[in-house]
Structure 1
Amino acid sequence: MKKWVFAGIGIIIVIMASFSIVYFKAVNPLDSAEEKALAAVKKKIKLTEIQDVQIYNGTETYYVVKGKDQKNQQVIAWVSEKKGDVVVRKAKDGVTQQQAVDKLLQEENPKEIISVKLGMIKKRQCWEIYYLSHNNLINYYYVDFETGDWLRKIENM
């Protein structure tokens, strides 16, 4: 009887170890791509603090890095995963997340805003707002980062 208990525990440990290995192998490419993006940003601008790194998947994948430069100013960098191009903007030179949401609320009446993140559409930095309409359909609303103008909508998915 004891042999069955020990065998069962051994099998559970092997299964848990296998899942852990698979998980870490799956996450590893994302970590190395993020490190590559951070290295590209550091070549372009000296950052004293990295506050956040997000991934944006549009027609092209971008890593968006938020941080502070040597003058302690908020900066945002968009790094193209494909080409490695880096675009850096001071946060104060663009619209804030709240201003982008306010632009959406002027034109639409969302049931729920799911997420708001920075992205890139055709070489233009933007805010992507992902929200649900009152009939529970998925919608995307894009606001130009520099001007605060509407760029495009994807509705009723």
Structure 2
Amino acid sequence: MYKWLAIILSCILLIVGIGGCVYSKAKAPIKKARVAAEERLKKETDIKDVDEFYLYNGSSTYYAVIGKNSKGQEMAAWIPANKKEKVHVKKMSDGVSKQDALNKLLSEKKPKEVLGVRLGMEKELPVWELSYLDENSNLNYYYIHFDSGKWWRKIENL
């Protein structure tokens, strides 16, 4: 009886260990991107503390962060993966908050489930990208201008 219990517990521990290893390996590129983005951020901007990090893959890859500058102001920065392009920085107070973007989606669409909300950059335009499932479980993307809070683009029924 105790042999079976030991075998079962050993198998469970082995599965959990392998799962943790796979998860860690899968997250490694994102951690590496965050470290590189924060190094560039500290060299090229006044943002000192990073509170949120987003990886955005649109027409180009951007690392977007929300953090505080040396004056304590909440700032947003869009760091292009292409190191030749410049970093864009804006005050969060000059744009739409994550919650306001989410509220706009909830008022205009009736999502079954919101999958994610992230900052991104499209054609030099800072945007909030909201991904969600509709009532038919279709994947949808809804983009809102960071500056104005107006709808920019939507991709529906994927």
Distance 2:71 2:19 in 1: 45
Aligned to 1:12: none
Which whole-Å deviations, capped at 9, do the CAs of 1:9-62 have from their partners, x for residues lacking one?
xxxxxxx99998877666544433322211221122223322122211112111
Distance 2:26 2:92 in 1: 33
Identity of aligned residues (%): 42
- One-letter amino acid of the structure 2 residue matched with residue 76 of structure 1: A
Alpha-carbon distance change, 150 to 45 in structure 1, aligned in 2, over 3 angstroms: same
Q: Which runs of 5+ in 2 are unaligned?
A: 1-15
* SS of residue matched to 1:147: coil
Aligned to 2:157: 156
Map 1:1-157 to 2 at 5 A.
Answer: 27-85=27-85, 86-157=87-158
Q: How far is 1:98 from its partner?
A: 1.9
Alpha-carbon distance change, 48 to 102 in structure 1, aligned in 2, over 3 angstroms: same
Q: Which runs of 5+ in 1 are unaligned?
A: 1-15
Distance 1:111 1:24 in 2: 30
C-alpha RMSD of matched pairs (Å): 3.2
- Quick check: 2:42–2:48 contact (8 Å CA) kept in 1? no
- One-letter amino acid of the structure 2 residue matched with residue 31 of structure 1: K
**Bigger-Rg structure (1/2):** 1
Which whole-Å deviations, capped at 9, do the CAs of 1:77-111 have from their partners, x for residues lacking one?
11111245311111111011121122223322222
How high is the TM-score relative to the length of structure 1?
0.79
How high is the TM-score relative to the length of structure 2?
0.78
- One-letter amino acid of the structure 2 residue matched with residue 80 of structure 1: P
* SS of residue matched to 1:146: coil
- Quick check: 1:54–1:63 contact (8 Å CA) kept in 2? yes
